[in-house]
């Protein structure tokens, strides 16, 4: 039985207690397995001067689909699965195009995404500053979301993930070690730029994460016994080695193409109060219809300067398992996706 799944005790359905579950132990096991298969996965493993393990999944190596899957599942701390599918891009005036998609299936989205996967730990400065995500956040609590999950992990080894254009230096590794209270040699830094296949995959995998963060913003009860399960799908952007272009494409896949479904146990009124306020179409204002690359330029190509409400999902569906009712909001914008992702003749 998966951790966090419902179980029957004394004739009643209850949630398994998962507070003793370690997202870092689960992620570290995945990363160690990937390291043993580095050649197969086309990834590169090295050590920093301080002894931290550096796992490059796309900066100075090709990476690949399987490396991308591992990056995603490690980021979810073992509480989710990633699979690949297809995303038909059909517009009124152009021939249909089929893009790959990344689908995520998440148990306990609160811990898997708010405490672990969410990318909000600022570990650098300036243009394309390193964005920290992954299970180490659940110990360090150095960003605005990780403390909102009512979960603190305890582990001797930690995994931090970076969306970055440069290999992490000793200063970053030591900072993570200190924040997590572990020895530097017990830090695993997994990284890739946006402009590689793993980068495209991991950004597109953040569909459930986006919705969970927006629920927090709008005051929805995000306890684990309220938000039970999540599913998300988004197209995987074509690769560009221009990091600005790659950031634009990957984020367009989320804000204009990502769709998420949550399964919650609450009253219908709580869902009705937020469902119309979660998605990018209501937060965008004058930015609606602009490719993210142009939005990114407007804010100095610095992720931490972009208003956080811009990072909102395209479409959300919420199933209330208590009442059986289902609610939806938002919209997919295929015209912007086509403008952003495809170049040239059909």
Residue environment code for 200-237, b if the CB has 16+ CB neighbours within 10 A, otherwise e: bbbbbbbbbbbbbbbbbeeebebebebbbbbbbbbbbb
Q: Does the structure show a pLDDT above 50 at 142?
A: yes
Whether the full predicted model's pTM is greater than 0.85, yes or no, is yes
DSSP codes of every residue in 219-269: T----TTTEEEEEEEEEPPPP-SSHHHHHHHHHHHHHTT-EEEEEE-S-HH
Can you read off the two tokens belonging to residue 163?
Answer: 């969306």
Q: Residues 125, 131, 137, 140: what is their CA dihedral angle, to the nearest 10 degrees?
A: -10
The mean of the pLDDT values for the chain is 90
As a whole number of angstroms, the distance between CA 7 and CA 161 comes to 32
pLDDT value for 125 = 67
What value does the mean pLDDT take over residues 106-111? 97
Q: Does the structure show a pLDDT above 50 at 1?
A: no
User: CATH top-level class for 6-341?
Assistant: alpha beta
Handedness of CA 98, 334, 215, 245 (dihedral sign): positive
- Residues with Cβ within 8 Å of 246's Cβ and at least 6 positions away in sequence, in order, are 193, 194, 195, 196, 199, 200, 237, 239, 240
Percent over 90 (pLDDT), the chain:
76
Choose among 117, 23, 107, 138: nearest CA to 71: 117
Which uninterrupted H or E stretch holds 72?
A: helix 65-75
Residue 233: pLDDT band (50, 70, 90) is: very high
Choose among 149, 160, 251: nearest CA to 200: 251
For residue range 156-210, what is the model confidence (pLDDT) as tens digits? Answer: 999 999 999 999 999 999 999 999 999 999 999 999 999 999 999 999 999 999 9
Strands lying side by side in the sheet with 187-192: 44-47, 53-56, 187-192, 158-163, 131-133, 121-122
């Amino acid at each position: 039985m998966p951790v966090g799944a419902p179980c029957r005790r004394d004739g009643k359905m209850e949630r398994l207690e998962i507070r003793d579950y370690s997202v870092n132990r689960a992620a570290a096991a995945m990363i160690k397995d990937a390291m043993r298969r580095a050649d197969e996965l086309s990834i590169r493993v090295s050590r920093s001067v301080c002894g931290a393990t550096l796992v490059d999944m796309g900066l100075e190596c090709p990476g690949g689909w399987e490396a991308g899957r591992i990056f995603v599942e490690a980021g979810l701390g073992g509480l989710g699965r990633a699979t690949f599918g297809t995303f038909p891009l059909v517009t009124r005036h152009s021939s249909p195009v089929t893009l790959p998609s990344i689908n995520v299936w998440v148990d306990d989205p609160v811990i898997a995404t708010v405490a672990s996967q969410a990318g909000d730990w600022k570990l650098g400065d300036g243009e394309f500053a390193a964005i920290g995500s992954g299970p180490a956040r659940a110990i360090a609590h150095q960003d605005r979301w990780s403390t909102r999950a009512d979960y603190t992990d305890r582990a001797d080894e930690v995994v931090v993930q970076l969306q970055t254009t440069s290999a992490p230096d000793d200063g970053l590794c030591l900072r993570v070690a200190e924040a997590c209270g572990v020895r530097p040699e017990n830090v695993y830094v997994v990284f890739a730029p946006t402009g590689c296949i793993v980068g495209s995959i991991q950004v597109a995998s953040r569909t459930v994460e986006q919705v969970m963060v927006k629920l927090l913003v709008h005051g929805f009860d995000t306890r684990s016994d309220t938000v039970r399960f999540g599913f998300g799908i988004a197209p995987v952007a074509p690769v560009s080695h221009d990091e600005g272009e790659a950031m634009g494409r990957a984020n367009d896949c989320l804000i204009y193409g990502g769709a998420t479904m949550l399964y919650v146990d609450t009253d219908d009124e709580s869902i009705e109060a937020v469902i119309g306020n979660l998605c990018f179409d209501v937060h965008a204002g004058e930015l609606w219809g602009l490719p993210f690359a142009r939005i990114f330029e407007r804010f100095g190509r610095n992720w931490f300067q972009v208003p956080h409400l811009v990072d909102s999902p395209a479409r959300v569906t919420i199933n209330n398992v208590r009442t059986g009712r289902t609610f939806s909001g938002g919209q997919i914008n295929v015209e912007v996706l086509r403008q952003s992702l495809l170049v040239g003749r059909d």
